[in-house]
Amino acid sequence: MQPVRAGSYRCLVNEPWHPLSRREAPDGPQLQTGISRPMEKALRDWILDVINKRRLDEQRLIVRCDLDLDARADDQLDEAEQVAFLARKEKLWDLIDAVLDLAALRKPAQPVAGVGFWLVQAERQKWQLEVRRPLQVILDDAGSIFTVRKDGAALEQRMDPAVAALLEDAAAAADRPDRGSATRHLLQAREAAYARTPDTVKAYGEAIKAVEAAAHATLQPKHAKATLGTMLGEYKQIRGKLTTPIARPTGETGIEAVESLMDILWAGQTSRHGNLEVTRDETPEEAIEAVHIAALLVQLFASGAIRRAA
């Protein structure tokens, strides 16, 4: 297995357990990107258990993950056992992701009576016990780089708890009419950047859209087609009219720092335009940094920390 440092940009949401030998290693505990033999057995047992308890369609899993089981079929195994135990090891992450999606507890209908509420709660608890919690325990105990996504419908890379909190605070602050669809764009950027297979172009683009939506009412409310680029131009013109709560002892504020972050985000997007040069997609590192910068900017604008002076 290839280790990834726990302190790198791909970090933790649920703190995984690390054995003493890893905790005392010179470079500290490391997240695991591969699947050890003990972890493989636990994951295959989980797959079979969820297929049976949630009555999943094995054929859908076979088609989704392109599982070639015929050549290795065992007459003594039923179809669920074949999917769980005969799928090649390199297909396991895809298979687990597909199982989570098919077993996901979609939003139930709103209960209309007290009994309906308890039925919904009971089903949610059953789903937690049968699907999400057992897998999360395996991933945490193995120190895996992957964790179960918040909605329980997919795997994603682990995130630093502080970053996760900032993203949630920013999304909550922007969830208001005068900040457009900033919350939706920020959450989509986060999901794309931290996905098991990151969509870096989408993540970076959604990060920019999140900032554009959050800053629009403050910087260019009368410009219907404003972009982060036009907002930067406006920023230079109205810089003296913008205020922030914190000022340096010299009287300077963080206005310039905010402008710098916006410029970094805008200028750093490599996939935005095509020209004579080969267009380069953003790297996973660039996409994640863009999401982190966007979260800070969205929070500052949506909370009113950056505002025009009255």
* For the chain, percent of residues with pLDDT exceeding 90: 62
Span 69-91, pLDDT tens digits? 865 556 688 999 999 999 999 99
Read off the pTM.
Answer: 0.76
pLDDT, residue 159, reads 86
Domain limits, CATH 1.20.120, in the chain: 160-308
pLDDT, residue 84, reads 96
CB neighbours (10 Å) of residue 24?
10
Please report which confidence band the pLDDT of residue 4 belongs to, taking 50, 70 and 90 as the band edges: very low
Rounded Cα gap, residues 183 and 211, in angstroms: 10
Tell me the HSE value of 174 on the side-chain side, using a 13 A CA sphere. Answer: 33
3-state secondary structure at position 62 = helix
Q: Compute the average pLDDT of residues 243-254.
A: 73
Span 117-127, pLDDT tens digits? 677 778 888 89
The CATH fold assigned to 160-308 is Four Helix Bundle (Hemerythrin (Met), subunit A) (1.20.120)
3-state secondary structure at position 5 = strand
pLDDT, residue 90, reads 94
pLDDT, residue 9, reads 29
Contact 288, 194 (CB under 8 A): yes
Rounded Cα gap, residues 231 and 258, in angstroms: 12
- Taking alpha carbons only, the member of 169, 163, 167, 160 closest to residue 187 is 167
